[in-house]
A and B are shown apart, each in its own frame.
Chain A
């Protein structure tokens, strides 16, 4: 069992890496980053455990659910996620929770489990259920490989609590979404309880480390190293010439058109998004599709641009990142392949397309 520590000076690296892995979605981790800094200011450091050996240990997921736009106004009290965990334990007849895991590593939810860990003293395990960001609760490797999100506890800052026992991941998601809205658009959740053996088999491992590494490289402006580390490719460089957006069923859907510069002049790239970037294509050729990651960086400061911040005139670099192998399995693609998002496109891994 390896451990390492996160300190206050690591937070900016973590949030930069999490923005990158958010693939345009997952929300701006700025608020979560500040909350985490506050915890680390008093705690000093937080222990991250890599590959715990105890196969019977119990792991539980911790996350924020809802609209990032609500979170920037209704900032959490920061103990909601901890209370959700305590309620989970209570509902499960005083179940001992040995480890906390993030559900996703992209965006704001990279920080929430660390705050929960700081508040509870329960160590965090280095991995998550997406290896990036996705919009819905059932879109995790845990679920693809047979772990149920239920029972799930959902908690708000006032102390209102619901326990959901959905018949499957979709129902759990649908019910939780409605409760989240009633709670005021943001809620804090505890779910996906499992033993360590299942966790190690199902999770995308070592992703906290990955986010920290990528963030450090990005903050040092070493994009080439990021590409090497992730076996990623630059897909395109250009200027945003059109952004189309509409809100549909609660999701921000649309596309962005980028006109090429340098080696890419006389070409245009279109990226479709639904919270996250989903499909990148030139005129007749599909370059990358979900679950592989499409990341859009500002050409000048190399900071990731989220889908809601896209605007005309931005000069950008577009990067394609191979998704973790666990996201590319047949089981996973049913839930997070292009077809799951309504595209009649086969998933072909980025490494085979380019």
Chain B
């Protein structure tokens, strides 16, 4: 059957699990390191050593990481990128990277706007200026690490993006070329931004993958397949993520939502992932995270690719309670030094919860809390914590009535047994490893979004072509061909436009080999 390793890099802890089928055979937690990689390698070495001789049964490694997001936040070690926007004479009103933060904008070393692009109907705005693309190739040769290409309405017609790439290749550009129709949906600036961000972090992931391979190899593990958790709660192979690393930026958040499903079998629920500093509240929709319908900002840049719909409140295990005020400050991973139950002098959410819910944690003595604070005070604080969680549930609910709530994460033990709006509160076994387990047990996935005019293309043919495209993408991402199935088809009519213009999104998932 083989053993799967799952690793999830959180802000304070990096969790690692080893699973055989669905049973957990080993688990470990190490401190997350500032560069993330070191902590990841530590967790990897540690979990593999726990397996002893069985390490040779490891077939695959799944990683949920914020490497991409971190690199963009720090604006360090990024690629030099050229952006080519195709669409003139349209599009000139707002040049590429116009409203970007300067620290990131300086990596976008060449910006071009070229004639071409399409209408929402799929017809050309103008012919593609192929000569200009050739000139650009001469100009950027050996001067950039990656090229981003975006064409107006490429989600209706991608011909100009593909043609531009072919010309660049013919002219000897050997760096990665990222095409926007493979990255995002409707909205030129948002899709362009996501495409450039993807190009900026390509090398970060290349290096990470190389490093992981050499660590595995140094431990005598040559044939372990590496997968990365994606924003939509599925995973994709290293080869795929090498080209599309931006799809991993919200991987860890999605993992815990997905993990909540895999641990409980509950397909539709509100999921509360309680960590050290925050509670992330998301929604399970048919077993996968519900996606946000509005533009999502990443490091201050508007993008529109698929991200989970998450509401975050500053309430976690390490949250500091000060004179009735709950947070937003947190002691984070210093909880076991600074929390009152551990002999420290800061009242934390965990201290309060231990007294009220009458549980204890290793090396903790909740009686120390009662020596300093009255029971009435503590229950008042806990009432307020409860209200914060209840408000978050209410905000994320999608329909009237009570919903099932699943609590996961290291702090899930603090969650009350009853809450307003919750029909039932489930805290599954191994809840603290939900994220790593989520990464390990999930499926390989792919999503494609296109816009069609059902007057020019038959609806069935349009959807079928999209399903085929998504299936091919899933296979490239590591799915076994005959296991790939459609998980979701979403059609959205576009108002104001004749020709029955419809935006269609198809998601497919499959088993990995």
Could you list which residues of chain A lie within 8 angstroms of chain B, going by C-beta atoms? 31, 34-35, 37-38, 66-70, 72-79, 115, 157-159, 181, 184-185, 239, 241, 247, 250-252, 275, 308-309, 311-313, 315
Contacts and interface: CB of A to CB of B under 8 A. Distances in A.
B495 A308 contact: yes
Nearest to A35: B93
A91 to B, nearest CB: 22
Interface string B461-501: 00000000000000000000000000000000111111100
B293 interface: yes
Q: Which A-B residue pairs are the 9 nearest by beta carbons?
A: A78-B93, A67-B496, A252-B495, A184-B119, A77-B92, A35-B93, A157-B90, A76-B93, A157-B89
Given A69-B186, A158-B125, A74 B395 contact: no
Nearest to B398: A312
Given A70-B497, A184-B125, A309-B294, A75 B120 contact: no
B7 to A, nearest CB: 34
Nearest to B499: A181
B98 A252 contact: no
Contact of B90 (A76, A241, A250, A251): A76
Contacts of B493: 247
Contacts of A181: 497-499
A74 B117 contact: yes
B87 A74 contact: yes
Interface string B33-61: 00000000000000000000000000000
Interface string B90-111: 1111110011000000000000
Given A75-B188, A78-B92, A250-B497, A70 B398 contact: no
B91 A185 contact: no
Contact of A251 (B89, B92, B126, B495): B495
Interface in B369-411: 394-400
A34 B98 contact: yes
A276 B186 CA distance: 22
Contacts of A239: 394
Contacts of B93: 31, 34-35, 38, 75-78, 115
Contact of A74 (B99, B125, B495): B125
B496 A68 contact: yes
Nearest to B502: A247
A16 B311 CA distance: 24
A38 B495 CA distance: 29
A268 B94 CA distance: 43
B513 to A, nearest CB: 38
13 contacts: A34-B98, A34-B99, A35-B93, A69-B496, A72-B186, A73-B186, A74-B87, A74-B119, A74-B152, A158-B89, A247-B494, A250-B496, A275-B495
A115 B494 CA distance: 27
Quick one: which of B94, B123, B400, B497 has the most chain A CB within 10 A? Answer: B94
B229 interface: no
A67 B494 contact: yes
A72 B90 contact: no
Contact of A77 (B91, B394, B395, B398): B91
B88 A185 contact: no
Contacts of A37: 98-99
B63 interface: no
A79 B397 CA distance: 45
Nearest to B451: A73
B189 interface: yes
